[in-house]
Amino acid sequence: MTHHYTPELATTLKQRRQTLGDRLTTPVLLWSGSAPARNFPANHHPFRASSHFLYFAGVPLQDAVIYLHQGQLTLFMEDATPADALWHGSSPTRSAIADRLGAAAHYPLAELRQVAQGAATIPVQNAATRQQQMQVLGRPLGEANALQGQDLALAEALVALKLVQDDGAIAALQKAANVTVKAHLAGMAQTRHAKTEAEVRAAMEMVIMASQMEPAYQSIVTTHGEVLHSQTYHHSLNPGDLLLVDVGAEHPLGWAADVTRTWPVSGQWSDSQRAIYEVVLAAHDACIARIQPGIEYRDIHLTAAKTITEGLVALGILKGDVATLMERSAHALFFPHGIGHLLGLDVHDMEDLGDLAGYAPGRKRSHDYGMQYLRLNRPLQTGMTVTIEPGFYQVPAILENSKNRDTFADCINWERLADFKDVRGIRIEDDVLVTETGCRVLTSALPTQADEVLQCLKS
């Protein structure tokens, strides 16, 4: 992966380390992790380096550790063995990697204990590496979402840094967004030739792989849009179906895109599908129009909730006064998740830290019906990247729940709702960079208008 080191990347990394050093006097040790075994030790899942490591080291070096102190980086890793050279080819020496990485010094892993005393860390996801972290530091490590002491202070410093994307990050996020747009266009074009969800997924991930990226998360490509995290692809495509497609590419250095479109398999919207699509699109557009530094992301969420409530009242699905319906969270019957989340090196950026990144200090996740899945609750700042992803779903687990049916008996016109039974789920999701004057939609090259989507299906 060392062919990714460029002078620009080196400059970006140096700046990030300096900023961390300015914020935190404690020394820091970050592990990259290792690839977990799949069905046997030599057949492992693809390696994904820890995002906190990647932020400062730039490149996914496997089984490596960086020591950060006062703006300097020290690299700890093993040199490749002769057996490595046989099976994996020749690789640059640790010294050469350290050089390209701008490291002040470099040592084998056995030397880690020399710098472990008092160092802060973030536990990685890989269990084997986490054992190594505990051994080196000589103390137990819990989950990354429940840190204490110097580790919590490090996490808070990381959140402060990583909430605002620098130019290097924005360039990588834009590249992931561009490939994702291409993948969605390929999926749209493939739909009329495809017999199954799997064939559309395959056409889209082909674009991502051919672009030397990987999916940033398990693709959702489903005629059952009401299943929010559907990860099966075996359903056949039938003319009346909507296909909900949530697919994003990940840049080789880790930066994610996260995009959803929903389109009709037949190439034509039914009247009911188009009507709901327009409601979701109105919410999407209203949210994006409001984005600017200083606005509360929670208010963006409420903008979506309001637009959806108004739309469903206008269609006769919801009954009553918009303000009252919203107060009762009636919109959450059809829009049960939050309007989006932070986007960065992780598709839900820094979610390994729990709500530390998503929620401003002092704020806690609400248990309210309409707010429990809001992943981001902060005022927006210039340089933040977030998703905007309103949706409408008919989830049996919600709509057939007897408590919900009692509570909301006076809000829903069930007979009218039956007219929309060919709308299982619709979501429209884009990736947005907050700018000084408003925002820039990184994925704006992918159409959202109902008729433009149909054009893409024909191409």
Which residues sit at the interface with a second copy, rule CB under 8 A?
A: 1, 3, 36-46, 48, 50-51, 82, 85-90, 125-128, 145, 196, 198-199, 201-203, 205-212, 217-218, 224, 226-234, 254, 336, 345-348, 350-352, 395-398, 401
Please choose, from the candidates 444, 340, 439, 429, the residue with its C-alpha nearest in 3D space to the C-alpha of residue 383: 439
* CA 270/CA 223 separation, integer angstroms: 15
Tokens coding 333:
């019957």
CB of residue 49 to a second copy, shortest distance in Å: 8
Cβ closer to a second copy: 45 or 113?
45
Give the alpha-carbon dihedral of 72, 78, 100, 86, to 10 degrees. -170
* CA 8/CA 451 separation, integer angstroms: 41
Cβ closer to a second copy: 105 or 128?
128
CB of residue 126 to a second copy, shortest distance in Å: 7
Asked if 39 contacts 84 with a C-beta cutoff of 8 angstroms, the reply is: no
Cβ closer to a second copy: 114 or 145?
145
Asked if 325 contacts 333 with a C-beta cutoff of 8 angstroms, the reply is: no
Tokens coding 292:
């600017």
- Tracing tokens 């291409």 back to the chain, one arrives at 182
CB of residue 93 to a second copy, shortest distance in Å: 14
Cβ closer to a second copy: 27 or 391?
391
Cβ closer to a second copy: 358 or 390?
358
CB of residue 451 to a second copy, shortest distance in Å: 29
Tokens coding 367:
């248990």
Half-sphere exposure of 340 (CA within 13 A, CB side): 36
CB of residue 165 to a second copy, shortest distance in Å: 17
CB of residue 309 to a second copy, shortest distance in Å: 20
* CA 211/CA 75 separation, integer angstroms: 30
Cβ closer to a second copy: 106 or 424?
424
- Tracing tokens 């799949």 back to the chain, one arrives at 38
